[in-house]
Amino acid sequence: MYWNRKAETLKPGELRRLQGKRLKKVTKYVYRNSGFYKKKFRDLGLKPGDIRGVEDLGRLPFTRKSDLRDNYPYGLFCTGLESIVRVHASSGTTGKPTVVGYTGNDIELWTEVMARSIMATGSTRKDVLHVAYGYGLFTGGLGLHYGGERVGCTVIPASGGNTARHLLLMQDLGSTVLACTPSYAVYLAEYAEKEGIDPREDLRLRVGVFGAEPWSEPMRKRIEDALDLKAYDIYGLSEIVGPGVAQECEEQCGAHIWSDHFLPEIVDPETGEQLGEGEEGELVFTTLTKDGIPLLRYRTGDRTILEYDKCSCGRYHPRMIKVRGRVDDMLIIRGVNVFPSQIEHVLLRIPEVGSHYLLVVEREGPLDVLTVKVEVTEDVISDRVRDLMKLEENIKSSISQALGIKVDVELVEPFTLERSKGKAVRLKDLRE
Ligand SMILES: [Zn+2]
């Protein structure tokens, strides 16, 4: 289903012309309004007039998260605060947060792409949308909220926390769409089971809009089975706008990037060279229509592949194939590149394994040691010790085979690993 049929079904040629027109405009705009970009252009000997269309995108300078931090809080804003109506900030896990500002137009644009995203999952004004993303500086809650209201859904602004209350509200208010992180969806399902709430009988959920952290296909399958809904991936980041930068449609074959507003490209994370269609690399965005804090060629740190062929849903907006993990999530263990998502992929295909795991990396002498702590399901615990050892060996060899390095596996009882109500914590790197 479409929210904005005309924009969502633009043909490749029309889309590229529109992107080119908007790219020229935003280039002039940042040159005129941002001391930061003006200096970058001068350093490169670049004039706004040199950018004639999408084909010149590669000539523009990159922007990095560190640029936002170095110019904290307002240094990259292109308008005065008199035009900014809202501020959001990303959680600063290291040091200061990243602050972004929205003009009235920016909020309108965000609401538009969120409305498109919600309807792309087949949700309509007849749906009751339960928003369990946090409301506040984090963009998840308010992003879904405004988009849901625009579509005409009945929005329940439940926000984060208090799992018992979420389940009570979803039962009593008849929620049909759930929006939260995938790891929280898993937690909700576990909690419901413990409390004797059967999602098939007691809940009316049919759609999940899950994002803000990478998740694997086996994880999707588990959530769909546990909560009896169809789970869709939503992608976004506050630097670009928040959630709603890209959204899976009902075909579930990658998230469509709303590329009339956010122009994507894939670059080699090491060299910054543009990569061709179908090649895996770092996802980079240029915002084409933002006023408050437009960004040129923003390095997201997310690894993906873009596909440009027409989707069966009728959209040509490029699809990002499920994010394999952030460039900086990649671990180097004894010289081998390891993505935590690869491990999740192996684990969640094993039925005796629960949905929670933790990777611990330590250094023993000169060697890195990776231990995967795995929660097993309730049924397994009652099994005989011999079977547990067999299971442990089995998991160990499956992961080692997938990664090409030896790992340790430690089975732990259900509900012993820490649960997160926001983004999941799945890695403890104890190396210096
Ligand atoms: Zn599609």
Q: How far is the CA of 244 from the centre of ligand 1 (A)?
A: 14
Q: By the 8 A CB rule, do 344 and 239 touch?
A: no
**Residue range 1-327, CATH number:** 3.40.50.12780
> How far is it, in rounded angstroms, from Cα 213 to Cα 234?
10
The pLDDT tens digits along the chain (432 residues) read 999 999 999 999 999 999 999 999 999 999 999 999 999 999 999 999 999 999 999 999 999 999 999 999 999 999 999 999 999 998 765 678 899 999 999 999 999 999 999 999 999 999 999 999 999 999 999 999 999 999 999 999 999 889 999 999 999 999 999 999 999 999 999 999 999 999 999 999 999 999 988 888 999 999 999 999 999 999 999 999 999 999 999 999 999 999 999 999 999 999 999 998 889 999 999 999 999 999 999 999 999 999 999 999 999 999 998 766 676 678 888 888 888 888 988 998 898 898 889 999 999 888 899 999 999 988 777 667 778 889 999 999 999 998 888 999 999 998 899 887 667 788 898 986
Q: How far is the CA of 116 from the centre of ligand 1 (A)?
A: 12
Q: How far is the CA of 120 from the centre of ligand 1 (A)?
A: 8
Determine the pLDDT at residue 65.
92
Distances from the Cα of 225 to the Cαs of 160, 177, 218, in angstroms? 23, 15, 11
Determine the pLDDT at residue 94.
61
Q: How far is the CA of 272 from the centre of ligand 1 (A)?
A: 29
Distances from the Cα of 343 to the Cαs of 10, 142, 330, 332, 338, in angstroms? 38, 32, 12, 14, 8
Q: Which CATH architecture has domain 330-429?
A: 2-Layer Sandwich (3.30)
Q: Which residues surround ligand 1, an ion (CB under 5 A)?
A: 249, 251, 311, 313, 315
Please list, in sequence order, all residues whose beta carbon lies within 8 angstroms of the beta carbon of residue 291, skipping any fewer than 6 positions away: 29, 78, 79, 83, 103, 105, 106
DSSP assignments along 271-336, one per residue: T--B--TT--EEEEEEESS-SSS--SSEEEEEEEEEE-SPPTTS--S-EEEEEEEEGGG-EEETTE
The domains spanning 1-327 and 330-429 adopt the same CATH topology: no
Q: How far is the CA of 114 from the centre of ligand 1 (A)?
A: 15
3-class state of residue 199 by DSSP: helix
Q: How far is the CA of 394 from the centre of ligand 1 (A)?
A: 38
Q: How far is the CA of 8 from the centre of ligand 1 (A)?
A: 10
Q: How far is the CA of 313 from the centre of ligand 1 (A)?
A: 4
Q: How far is the CA of 94 from the centre of ligand 1 (A)?
A: 36
Domain ranges in the chain?
A: 1-327, 330-429
Q: How far is the CA of 214 from the centre of ligand 1 (A)?
A: 20
Distances from the Cα of 158 to the Cαs of 46, 179, 180, 194, 243, in angstroms? 48, 10, 10, 21, 17
Q: How far is the CA of 167 from the centre of ligand 1 (A)?
A: 31
> How far is it, in rounded angstroms, from Cα 321 to Cα 407?
28
In the numeric block, the tokens 């409301």 are attached to 135
Determine the pLDDT at residue 380.
79
Determine the pLDDT at residue 421.
67
> How far is it, in rounded angstroms, from Cα 357 to Cα 426?
7
Determine the pLDDT at residue 90.
85
In the numeric block, the tokens 């709603």 are attached to 244
Question: Quick one: which H or E segment has residue 221?
Answer: helix 217-227
R_g over Cα of the chain:
22
